């Protein structure tokens, strides 16, 4: 019997929302509608055992303090995204929004943007506004955590008092934090800063303390998968990445890693069907071995990073299923038990985000 899949990392945006995305521009390869219609197309070959997904915020134009103006829209676009997810869960789409009533059960969890650097007071005000947007307790219960994307933020952001205290507040509220940093393009300094941030956030917490925030790390921290494969394990960049990933895993038992995002870091793949999956597994293995060695399979979860995976993975018709095949190869080569594989495919995400199915 196929193992049920929880896709722990996808993004959704109707074409009408493109102007509100911080990364959107006239030549962006994702500059079209990517809603549930397109996601169902991407996952159609595995639809019978795709249990559902966790939505991650899509980096809307926003600012920490809610003072809307021409240059700083405040929370408007981020809260509008919460309203979009509310309509998805309630099965009440607007015209041309790209989802229907039958899609509502696919959304297992919602991780919206939140102004974490503002600290507890600003976070509390924002989350109250977000709760209003969800309209019902059913939808609000699907808000399992927040993300404030850090890969493009100024050095030192994670170490500011407001940010650290914001994360500690999330822990008290039972909300997860998704950590997005970029080792390849942003530099390993981002990972070093994340390690130092975790030391501050978890200071005073014991291993099993319920009040410690859960931190789910995105995309293996986007390592440089373009290093020469025959020399990767002795390369200084790899060794530093390995050291920092291990430090993150040891920071606390509530840190998790997403097995996702690799197609953005590999050289781009063509759309042809005869892809060398085993070659990709081999290329990825030095990096995935570090994740499994450091976190254990009990703290590693599958995520597709759809639709971003389409950019380097060959397009919407093939990228999601290709990444699934790569992960299957990784898990097989790692020699995981059936129970461990079930965890990576869904059980770990359910545990980390506190999802009820």
Tens digits of per-residue pLDDT, 211-254? 999 999 999 999 999 999 899 999 999 999 999 999 999 999 99
The pLDDT, as a whole number, for residue 48 is 80
Domain of residue 265 covers 5-353
Task: Compute CA distances 44 → 36, 178, 280, 338, whole Å.
Answer: 11, 27, 23, 24
Q: Is it the case that residue 341 has pLDDT exceeding 80?
A: yes
Task: Compute CA distances 260 → 2, 30, 169, 240, whole Å.
Answer: 20, 18, 27, 20
Number of domains in the chain: 1
| Nearest-10 crossing angle of helices 319-334, 277-295 | 60
The pLDDT, as a whole number, for residue 69 is 65
The DSSP 8-state label assigned to residue 83 in this structure reads H
How far apart CA 297 and CA 304 sit, in angstroms, is 17
CATH number, residue 335: 3.20.20.140
Q: Which two tokens stand for residue 354?
A: 């506190």
Mean pLDDT (the chain, rounded): 95
Q: What tens digit of pLDDT does each residue of 136-176 get? A: 999 999 999 999 999 999 999 999 999 999 999 999 999 99
The pLDDT, as a whole number, for residue 77 is 96
How far apart CA 53 and CA 301 sit, in angstroms, is 12
Q: Are 86 and 135 in contact (CB under 8 A)?
A: yes
The pLDDT, as a whole number, for residue 10 is 98
Dihedral sign of CA atoms 5, 60, 256, 230 in order: positive
Predicted model pTM: 0.97
Q: Residues in the chain, how many?
A: 357
How far apart CA 96 and CA 269 sit, in angstroms, is 31
């Amino acid at each position: 019997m196929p193992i049920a899949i929880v896709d722990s990392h996808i993004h959704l945006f109707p074409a009408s929302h493109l102007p509100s995305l911080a990364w959107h521009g006239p030549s962006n390869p994702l500059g079209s509608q990517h809603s549930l219609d397109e996601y169902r197309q991407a996952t159609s070959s595995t639809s019978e055992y795709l249990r559902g997904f966790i939505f991650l915020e899509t980096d809307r134009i926003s600012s920490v303090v809610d003072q809307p103006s021409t240059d700083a829209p405040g929370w408007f676009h981020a809260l509008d995204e919460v309203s979009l997810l509310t309509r998805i869960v309630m099965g009440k789409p607007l015209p041309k929004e790209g989802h229907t009533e039958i899609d509502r059960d696919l959304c297992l969890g919602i991780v919206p943007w939140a102004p974490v650097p503002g600290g507890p007071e600003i976070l509390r005000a924002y989350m109250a506004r977000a709760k209003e947007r969800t309209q019902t307790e059913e939808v609000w219960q699907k808000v399992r955590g927040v993300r404030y994307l850090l890969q493009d933020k100024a050095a030192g952001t994670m170490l500011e008092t407001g940010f650290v205290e914001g994360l500690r507040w999330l822990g008290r509220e039972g909300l997860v934090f998704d950590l997005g940093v970029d080792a390849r393009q942003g530099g390993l300094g981002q990972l070093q800063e994340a390690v130092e941030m975790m030391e501050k956030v978890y200071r005073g917490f014991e291993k099993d303390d319920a009040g410690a925030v859960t931190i789910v790390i995105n995309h293996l921290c986007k390592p440089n998968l373009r290093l020469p494969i025959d020399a990767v394990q002795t390369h200084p960049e790899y060794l530093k990445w390995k050291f920092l990933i291990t430090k993150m895993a040891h920071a606390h038992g509530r840190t998790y890693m997403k097995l996702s995002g690799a197609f953005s870091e590999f050289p781009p793949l063509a759309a042809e069907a005869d892809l060398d999956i085993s070659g990709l597994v081999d290329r990825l293995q030095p990096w995935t071995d570090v994740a499994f060695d450091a976190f254990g399979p009990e703290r590693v979860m599958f995520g597709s990073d759809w639709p971003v995976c389409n950019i380097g993975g060959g397009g919407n018709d093939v990228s999601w299923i290709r990444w699934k095949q790569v992960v299957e190869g990784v898990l097989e080569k790692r020699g995981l038990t059936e129970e461990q594989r079930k965890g990576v495919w869904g059980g770990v995400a359910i545990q980390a985000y506190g999802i009820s199915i």
